[in-house]
Amino acid sequence: MNLTYSTKLSAIPRDIVCLDDYQRHAKLHLAEAIYEYIASGAGDDITMRRNQLRFQDIALYSRVLKDFDGASTGIHLLGRDYPTPIILAPIAYQRLVHPDGEKATALAADAMSTPMVTSTLASIPMNEITERNNAGNWFQLYMQSNPQNTATLIRRAEHAGYDAIVVTVDAAVSGLRNRPQRAGFSLPGEISAVNCQGFETETLTLSGGDSPVLHGIMAQAPQWRDIEWLRQQTQLPLIVKGISHPDDALQARAIGADAVVVSNHGGRTLDTLPASIDTLAAIRAAVGAEFPLLLDSGVRRGTDIVKALALGANAVMIGRPQIFALAVAGALGVAHMLRLLREELEIAMALSGCANIAAINANCLHTTERPATC
């Protein structure tokens, strides 16, 4: 398919007042096939829709007359202080929506003091991204079929100044993306995973008779022993992304992971999975109070952040909204999107009586099983 870019807005329209407004505007800035590639989930979009709907089913208490002297949204995570519990999730091929791609996102992250996770499938060299963001840079890693290529990506990330490695483990096989299939999406020739250039072609054997997935692709897919090997390859914090079961979180912790991202890949892999927010509490109970957990998939409001933190997350990741904002207004749009979310978080904290992140806990959630005690 041919790639053309719309003119990006230099001022934010007055009707963009929340994150979902950027998605509505993005449809006007993107070719249908590219929009469908970004906006869709796997299969029938059940998990993707569930990620947001389940946040709506969780109720917060309003608390009044609290002391807000010294109030703060700051957190301490993996040895570093951050001004909010908001992190930009890895999004591949950002030049699909903006000529500067990840460079523009990095400028916005820097302006809003927000850490950014760069995808293995970034369309901009990784060092050009870290050069533009001093607020924190993590590198998202897809394990390569050749371990030497995986090691090369790690060395490149270390050399470029990344602060952590985020290994994604829930996409050994691509999900069935029916919407972009119907729209005829294909990656334009001028867009590529530039940080993997120089590797020999990654090939997956599709042999296996009538089972090319189970006996072909999955025969070469990463296993826990590969994550153990990865842990030995770097001194950077290792974060395992794509966990939805408590036993997998325990396994990640046991092999030396420094944190886990509770995530269903934004509903883009296996359809009909539970919403990430619905798996969070059980995973927190399994790993204990001190092990860092991040929540990804479905966060669209400041109230969603409060709910995620109340159920055990230390921080949240924001995925699709950043790419929609980038499509509409470039770095300005991404920065504005982050500012909206931070303002919503502060309002939600103020009205729920939480002066700081430590004050957010399960007692802030309304349930029918117990009276409010927070």
Interhelix angle 19-26/32-39, rounded to 10 degrees, is 150
d(CA 162, CA 156): 9
pLDDT band per the 50, 70, 90 thresholds, residue 219: confident
pLDDT tens figures, 181-210: 999 999 999 999 999 998 865 444 445 557
Calculate mean pLDDT across residues 260-275. Answer: 97
Among candidate residues 25, 29, 265, 336, the one labeled active-site is: 265
| DSSP-derived 3-state class of residue 11 | coil
Q: How much is the mean pLDDT over the chain?
A: 95
The single-letter DSSP state of residue 87 is: E
Amino acid at 110: D
**Would you say residue 374 has pLDDT above 80?**
no
Give the number of other CB atoms < 10 A from CB of residue 373. Answer: 7
| Exposed / middle / buried, residue 156 (Cβ in 10 Å: 0-12, 13-18, 19+) | middle
Q: What is the pLDDT of residue 368?
A: 66
Q: Are strands 75-77 and 80-82 parallel, antiparallel or unpaired?
A: antiparallel
pLDDT band per the 50, 70, 90 thresholds, residue 371: low
Q: What is the pLDDT of residue 206?
A: 47
Q: What is the pLDDT of residue 149?
A: 97
Q: What is the pLDDT of residue 157?
A: 98
pLDDT band per the 50, 70, 90 thresholds, residue 370: low
The single-letter DSSP state of residue 293 is: E
Judge contact between 172 and 221, C-beta under 8 A.
Answer: yes
Q: What is the pLDDT of residue 292?
A: 98
d(CA 158, CA 174): 28
pLDDT tens figures, 4-48: 999 999 999 999 999 999 999 999 999 999 999 999 999 999 999
Q: What is the pLDDT of residue 209?
A: 58
**Would you say residue 172 has pLDDT above 80?**
yes
Q: What is the pLDDT of residue 205?
A: 45
Q: What is the pLDDT of residue 367?
A: 85
DSSP state letters, 30-66: S-HHHHHHHH--STTSHHHHHHHHHHHT-EEPP--S-
pLDDT tens figures, 58-97: 999 999 999 999 999 999 999 999 999 999 999 999 999 9
320: which 2 tokens? 């699709």
Q: All domains of the chain, ordered by start, with CATH?
A: 19-366 (3.20.20.70)
Helix (H), strand (E), coil (C) string for the chain: CCCCCCCCCCCCCCCCCCHHHHHHHHCCCCCHHHHHHHHCCCCCCHHHHHHHHHHHCCEECCCCCCCCCCCCCCEEECCEEECCCEEECCCCCHHHCCCCCHHHHHHHHHHCCCCEEECCCCCCCHHHHHCCCCCCEEEEECCCCCHHHHHHHHHHHHHHCCCEEEEECCCCCCCCCHHHHHHCCCCCCCCCCHHHCCCCCCCCCCCCCCCCHHHHHHHHCCCHHHHHHHHHHCCCCEEEEEECCHHHHHHHHHCCCCEEEECCHHHCCCCCCCCHHHHHHHHHHHHCCCCCEEEECCCCCHHHHHHHHHCCCCEEEECHHHHHHHHHHHHHHHHHHHHHHHHHHHHHHHHCCCCCHHHCCHHHEECCCCCCCC
pLDDT band per the 50, 70, 90 thresholds, residue 1: confident
333: which 2 tokens? 């749009």
* Torsions phi, psi for 139 (to 5 deg): -110, 120
pLDDT tens figures, 87-120: 999 999 999 999 999 999 999 999 999 999 999 9
Predicted TM-score (pTM) of the model is 0.95
Q: What is the pLDDT of residue 204?
A: 45
Instruction: Look up 265 and say whether it is catalytic.
Output: yes
CA atoms within 13 A on the CB side of 3: 16
pLDDT band per the 50, 70, 90 thresholds, residue 293: very high
